[in-house]
Amino acid sequence: MSDFVDQCRREWRRLGVPDPLADEMAADLASDLGEAEAEGVSAEELLGSSAFDPRSFAASWAAERGIIPEPPSPGTRRRRPLVLVAFTALAALTLIVAALLLLTGQPKVSLVRTRAAHAGVLPVPPAPFVPPGTTRQVLLHANTSAPVEWILLFLAVVALGFAAWLWSNWGRSRPPGIST
């Protein structure tokens, strides 16, 4: 019995429960367990399945009293890392693609114009002869598309930094005792 209360005390201390409140809960619990034992009532009859898990019991009691934040639901615990993993992977992929595009000297962006008459919207290299109504393919070379890749690179670096902050913040904000 006292071992159960001692484990609860350790858990409350670890969770940052103020000493006066921890003392009060420990005293009440010890008194109830002692009275139950004197009447031949098992700890399981008093505590239910919590009798086998003092840490969860202590955390749950403190959370329900509003002394510590409530642990997130199991679904939230699983979903949040998945979202972070996906976001981090996307940012890393974008960084790699942008870096590769910048490092290669090949033309990177091709724009297709449907009519020669519309080609004047972009700086089109002069062509010797284009029959009206035919399709022309306009290739924009590296120097034209580079800003897009630099923007991608910048966004990827910012996204990776944000992902790193989310990971570290999530790790710190997880309530102690949640082992997953």
Of 29 and 95, which CB lies nearer to other proteins in the complex structure?
29
* H-helix segments, the chain: 2-15, 19-38, 43-47, 54-64, 74-103, 142-173
Site membership for other proteins, residue 73 (CB under 8 A): no
Of 61 and 95, which CB lies nearer to other proteins in the complex structure?
61
Site membership for other proteins, residue 29 (CB under 8 A): yes
User: From the CB of 30, what's the least distance to other proteins, in Å?
Assistant: 9
CB neighbours of residue 169 within 10 Å: 10
Q: Which residue has the tokens 């071992």?
A: 3
Of 63 and 109, which CB lies nearer to other proteins in the complex structure?
63
User: From the CB of 78, what's the least distance to other proteins, in Å?
Assistant: 22
* Selection from 134, 107, 140, 108 nearest residue 121 by Cα: 140
Taking only Cα atoms into account, the Rg of the chain, rounded to an integer number of angstroms, comes to 32
| Binding region for other proteins (CB under 8 A) out of 39-47, 86-94, 121-129, 133-141 | 39-47
Of 51 and 90, which CB lies nearer to other proteins in the complex structure?
51
Q: Which residues pair with 139 in a beta bridge?
A: 110
- Residues 156 and 167: their CA atoms lie apart, in Å, by 16
Q: Binding residues for other proteins, per CB under 8 A?
A: 24-25, 27-29, 31-32, 35-36, 41, 44-51, 57, 60-66
